[in-house]
Amino acid sequence: MILRLDRLMCELPRAKNPSPNAAAAVQELLGGKFGEMSTLMNYTFQSFNFRGRSDVRPFYDLIANIAAEEFAHIELVSYAINLLLTGTTPRDG
């Protein structure tokens, strides 16, 4: 179970010079080969399929907590992308 609070983990500053190119670079962090989405899926899958949870509870808790933390990272990276795009026009890129 993931508890979602309607706020970010930390406040991010607004970009002084919004840039679609910078947003594209940050988007690679979100959905690239080793991005946050891949990491979330890996840890979530591992936590769902963890066998013998009761025998090694601290290790299962660690994997499940990392999956929940990755969910928060996705929210932060997505917000950063939106900040980098706020104030740009379609032709800026």
Mean pLDDT of 71-86: 93
The CA distance from 91 to 26, in Å, is 19
Interval 1-41: pLDDT, tens: 677 778 888 888 888 889 999 999 999 999 988 899 999 99
pTM of the predicted model as reported, rounded to 2 decimal places: 0.80
Burial of 26 (0-12, 13-18, 19+ CB in 10 A): middle
